[in-house]
Homo-oligomer: A and B are copies of this chain.
Amino acid sequence: MHIITRKLVTSNDSKIVMLVADGLGGLPLGPGGRTELETARTPNLDQLARRGVQGGSIPVKPGISPGSGPGHLALFGYDPLQYVIGRGALEATGIGFALQPGDVAVRCNFCTLDREGNISDRRAGRIASEQSAALVDRLRAVRVAGVEVFVEPVREHRFVVVFRGPGLGDNVLDTDPQVTGAPPLAPVAADPASRRTAEVAARFVEQAARLLADQPHANGLTLRGFAERPALPSYQEVYGLRAAAIAVYPMYKGLARLVGMEIVGDAHTLDEQVDVLEGCYDQFDFFFLHFKYTDSTGEDGAFDAKVERIEQFDACLPRVTALEPTVLIVTGDHSTPSFLRSHSWHPVPTLLVSDCCRPDGNNEFSERASIRGGLGQFEARYLMLLALANARRLGKYGA
C-alpha cells in the first residue's frame, strides 16, 4: 500500500491525534457479562462515539494475537506480516537503545558454565538485575577492532549487545544450545554477508569469558536473535507527516522511533503526557500518545483495575478534544482481556472522529457498539489511511 499512499499524500494544516490505550479490548468474565470497557464509566468516549464512527480493528489477521511490535507497526500503517522486527532489534528497542541502520543487535543471557565449559544453568540462577547490570558494565571493556560495541542491561540474566560498523549482516545463528550439559555454540554465519558479524561475536564472547571468569554463576553467555534495525520507511517519507510520540515506556518510544517519529517530552503520568501534547501541538502534524496501563492491568488479570484505568483514560479526553484535532482516533494495539491475562486476537474497539467521518448511530464506545460501527471490522494496517483521508491529506486514486 505504501507505494500508492506516497503518491496520494498531500499536505495541509490538519492535526491527527492517535490515542493508543494498550490492550484496550477485553472480554466479559462470564456468560452474559460485560467487558472492561463496557463496565467502565466513560462519558467522554461515549460523547465522542455519538460524533464519530467506530469499528473493530484486527491487529494482524483473524485469530492472530500480536506482540507490541506488530501491534504498533500495524497501527502505524506498516503491514506487520511484511515488516518484521527481529528479536535482538526489538529487545534493543524495548530498552530505548537508538538503533542505527546497519547496527546488529543481539539478545544475550548470562549462563553458568561448569569446569568442562558445559552450561549447567542457562539463566545463571536468574541473577538479580543489579548484579547483572554491574557485570554488563564490566563487559563494556570489550574491544573489537573496527567495530563499536554497546552492552546494555535488560533484566535479571538478560542483556543486549549491539555491534556497529561496516559490513555486518545479521544472519548469524543462535549460540544457545537450548540444553544444559553442552557448551555454548560458536557464532556461525548463515550467509557470506554475516561472516564478519560471526567473527566479531566470537571475539566478544572470548573477551567476555575472561572478564566473567571470577563469577560463580554468571561466568558464561549465550547470544540469540541477531537482528539489524528493520528498514522501515519513515512517517515523513510515506505520509509526509511530522510525527510526535508521547510515551512513558521505552518500548513504545523505541517503536515510534523506528518509524521516524520524534520522541517528545519526558512524561510519567497520563496528565503529563497531555501536557506534552499541548506543549508541542504546534510543531507536529501527527501525535501518537501511548497509555500503558490498560494492557498491564489486563495482563495481571485485574478486571476492576483495568476498568479504573479505562476511566482514567476517559477522564483525560476533554483536554485532548479541547485542542480540536482534525482527526481524533482512540484505539489499542491489541486486546488484553483480564479473563485471558494475555494479549489476544479479538478485534480492538476503535473510534475515529472528524468533521467528515460518517457517524454510525452509536452512542457509546464499546466492543458491542463497535460491531455495529461504521468502520466494520478492518485490518489495523488501514487505520492510517482512514486517518489521512479524514484529515483530507489523501488525494484521489486514479482519474
Contact = CB atoms under 8 A, between A and B. Distances in A.
A346 B371 contact: no
A359 B342 CA distance: 18
A356 B385 CA distance: 31
Interface residues of A, number: 69
A359 B397 contact: no
A134 interface: no
Interface string A355-399: 010111100000110011111111000111111111000111111
A385 B63 contact: yes
B61 A1 contact: yes
User: A8, A64, A359, A385: which has the most chain B beta carbons within 10 Å?
Assistant: A64
Contact of A64 (B8, B28, B67, B387): B8
A69 B398 contact: yes
Given A4-B81, A389-B64, A343 B382 contact: no
A347 to B, nearest CB: 8
Contacts of A84: 398
A340 B367 CA distance: 30
A68 interface: yes
A377 B339 CA distance: 25
Contact of A356 (B8, B67, B337, B397): B337
Interface in A50-76: 50-51, 56, 60-71
Nearest to A361: B368
B63 A345 contact: no
Given A71-B398, A344-B356, 8 more contacts: A62-B375, A62-B382, A63-B386, A67-B396, A360-B371, A371-B376, A375-B377, A377-B377
Contact of A386 (B345, B368, B390): B345
A345 B389 CA distance: 7
A185 to B, nearest CB: 21
A27 interface: yes
A49 to B, nearest CB: 12
A62 B31 contact: no
A360 B65 CA distance: 20
A35 interface: yes
Contacts of A383: 62
A397 B67 contact: yes
Interface of A: 1, 4, 8, 27-28, 31-32, 35, 50-51, 56, 60-71, 80-81, 84-85, 87, 90-91, 337, 339-340, 342-347, 356, 358-361, 367-368, 371-378, 382-390, 394-399
A340 B361 contact: no
A356 B340 contact: yes
A63 B394 contact: yes
A23 to B, nearest CB: 12
Contact of A68 (B337, B382, B399): B399
Contacts of A1: 61
30 contacts: A4-B81, A27-B356, A28-B359, A56-B374, A62-B382, A62-B383, A63-B384, A63-B386, A63-B387, A63-B394, A65-B389, A67-B397, A67-B399, A69-B398, A80-B397, A80-B398, A91-B399, A339-B356, A340-B356, A344-B356, A344-B389, A346-B358, A347-B376, A358-B367, A360-B368, A361-B371, A371-B373, A371-B374, A377-B377, A377-B378
B66 A396 contact: yes
B346 A386 contact: no
A197 B363 CA distance: 60
A27 B358 contact: yes
A85 B397 CA distance: 11
